[in-house]
Structure 1
């Protein structure tokens, strides 16, 4: 008899080692789950086994691989069981992190007999094992049903605990690997999206007789909700020596706002190609954005035309503010509010509120997104409008491109390493 006991122990150890080898060899989640439930069933001489993974985002247990459960022809997508991580025997095991041995399922009030009635299966004994990761986090719960020995023994509990420890490590490893692969793929896609978006910004600013123009944009994430553009009249049906300027800031930052703001840029370019004047193009773009943008989303935008052969700037702002103008003659910085509400808020927008600004030599017009004004340092202090005004006044003799660099560097220095909360974009026009 002792020899038979030792033989059983050796066989159990052999099976445990075989399971460990199988678990370490696979990086596929379904394969790992299948190895776990097969091992639980076979080593414990049981009928069925299931692994319920823990979803911390929803505080639920779920299973997509189990013995005796398959998709139906009527609903082939219904291949996952989900329930609160506090429900039933599995839920209690997850909460207590203790193994639960139920010798008679129908005598236990925690057991849901409806499942047996629906499937025609008869559950008798249940062994439920918590799966705890090496970092002491809950990975899931394993359940083994109907041992051929009648009830699960204390020795079965020890074996199940050992199997559970291996299963938890394997599941955690595969999940981390899957998360890494997903993140890597997403980062590659976002890098492509960033390249496309950045490629839509002006690569070279036009050389104009009356003005210098400079701009830049830095997204807070891989893609941003800010955009700017400089459209030459010769490339469109606008007057050949006219220039259309544009800067916009969609609410939020990331992929969604980036799509919205690039949609706006595309519509603007198309409107310019057919020679639409600012009031008309703003009217139609706003109507389209009202139809397309989700509730609560909008885009602040500034449009301007540099008149042919003059130093006149025709400006219109839909929610984009403050706008700053340095007047060389008085050495003062003026602040202007927006002319109307942002795009995408109301279907009927008064786009005829065009401001005619006669720029003189040395005058500077500055349009910045709120990511600059609202940039914060580690003490949670905002960069603010006054610092921008002071920079413009102190460096009014600098070129437009140099002034862009000065403002950008000042914001970065002020932030002192604190990550940007919002995209930062600027457009500067300086009269020669």
Structure 2
């Protein structure tokens, strides 16, 4: 269920290949900083997607560059941040210089020119920690004079505009430092710093492009990075899932999505199966989706029960105060013996096929969507037992709202889905086959076109 939805005109090909959980997303620059630590990854994802969202909304180059430098200082707990560019004559010039409190500190500021020179010559990121005066002198006189404890610097290179290959690329470096005695920059800091620096390259390249093409290039590159971040959070089916066969299927309407699903092993060893849907598409919903998914993982893994986890997530989203954006979410908490608890925050109720009666039933109880009312306390809406062969299907509304070509009023619909689930579940198909077959049927019905994200999760008791 969506609120204030804005439909797009995006279409995809008929093949029902789901978006792959990006195990290889680490090869993408934006995903190098994913560590597996839920709390740390949540902060990293929120930071990077927030930067992407802000610079995508701004047309002013100076604002973009300043925003990236400020966020670089913030995430690394540094004291100063500089953007240094190389002029046509080969001399370096400070383009942006900022302090921790968000103030400009002047273009004549001193910094470690030796480290910047090394980064520019080798075109490789570099970080250094100073433990003695001798080490400071080895790194350069400026490091010693400024009493720097930690320095981190990454290269920036922007190719010339298309058709102007004879032009020199714009080169430079993004630089931060700190004098705090306990500060050391980590490899994770360096990876996230490098990801942020890519947006400077994007911003500088866009400045050199013609005004008519700047919008498309900017959005494409930002969306590519946002998509890499979001894909890095797509789950793998847990290996330890005694008694359950699980599968998820996902396809965004655009490069980034407001849908997500997840499998989270809670501290009490039960498995939480989650599906969520944020209104809209693009970077804004992707930011909320990534933040909500990371938060929920963190709450469940540190020992919060499902009810408390949803209540806390609702408070988080209400504090964001994103105009017109809400999250519907269904959580099914599974025990190995077949017992399950359903918590529904404004989402479509799941369909359940009973092997014993060979009937499909709907579970329609639910509370309000997340981010709607801050004072809402969520609790278990339904408790039930799934017996051997029973199948539970949860989905987002992109599935049932797929419409026939040329007829927007003829939808795939819940009733068609109920019949299809009954047909598939009555045969000994595994969860993956059922999910793929349902997705294939919906895409075939709409001739491969879908204006909304499509996500579904199948749970079968074994």
Q: How high is the TM-score relative to the length of structure 1?
A: 0.56
**1:422 positional shift:** 0.9
Alignment of 1:253-272 (within 5 A): 253-272=281-300
**1:177 positional shift:** 4.0
**1:254 positional shift:** 1.5
Gaps spanning 5+ residues in structure 2: where?
1-206
Tell me what 2:455 maps to: 425
Alignment of 1:262-301 (within 5 A): 262-301=290-329
Tell me what 1:239 maps to: 268
**1:207 positional shift:** 4.5
**1:350 positional shift:** 3.4
Q: Do the aligned residues in 2 keep the contact of 1:205 with 1:214 (CA within 8 Å)?
A: no
Task: Indicate whether 1:360 and 2:387 are aligned.
Answer: yes
Compared CA separation, residues 209 and 273, structure 1 to 2 (3 A): closer
Q: After superposition, what is the alpha-carbon deviation per residue over 1:64-88, rounded to whole angstroms, capped at 9, x for unaligned?
A: xxxxxxxxxxxxxxxxxxxxxxxxx
SS at match of 2:367: coil
Which whole-Å CA distance do the structure 2 matches of 1:422 and 1:331 have between them? Answer: 31
Q: Do the aligned residues in 1 keep the contact of 2:237 with 2:247 (CA within 8 Å)?
A: no
Tell me what 2:9 maps to: none
Q: Do the aligned residues in 2 keep the contact of 1:298 with 1:342 (CA within 8 Å)?
A: yes
Bigger Rg, structure 1 or 2: 1
- Paired residues, number: 252
SS at match of 2:411: coil
Q: After superposition, what is the alpha-carbon deviation per residue over 1:36-70, rounded to whole angstroms, capped at 9, x for unaligned?
A: xxxxxxxxxxxxxxxxxxxxxxxxxxxxxxxxxxx
Alignment of 1:37-56 (within 5 A): none
Which whole-Å CA distance do the structure 2 matches of 1:430 and 1:204 have between them? Answer: 13
Q: Do the aligned residues in 1 keep the contact of 2:314 with 2:374 (CA within 8 Å)?
A: yes
Q: Do the aligned residues in 2 keep the contact of 1:227 with 1:247 (CA within 8 Å)?
A: yes
Task: Indicate whether 1:183 and 2:245 are aligned.
Answer: no
Task: Indicate whether 1:411 and 2:442 are aligned.
Answer: yes
The higher relative CO (CA closer than 8 Å, separation ≥ 6) is in 2
Q: Do the aligned residues in 1 keep the contact of 2:365 with 2:382 (CA within 8 Å)?
A: no
Q: How high is the TM-score relative to the length of structure 2?
A: 0.52
Alignment of 1:15-414 (within 5 A): 177-233=210-266, 238-240=267-269, 242-307=270-335, 309-378=336-405, 379-380=407-408, 381-396=410-425, 397=427, 398-414=429-445
Q: After superposition, what is the alpha-carbon deviation per residue over 1:342-398, rounded to whole angstroms, capped at 9, x for unaligned?
A: 111111223123421100011011100000011112121111001111111111131
Compared CA separation, residues 389 and 267, structure 1 to 2 (3 A): same
Which whole-Å CA distance do the structure 2 matches of 1:278 and 1:204 have between them? Answer: 20
Tell me what 1:120 maps to: none
Q: Do the aligned residues in 2 keep the contact of 1:339 with 1:353 (CA within 8 Å)?
A: no
Which whole-Å CA distance do the structure 1 matches of 2:430 and 2:321 have between them? Answer: 38
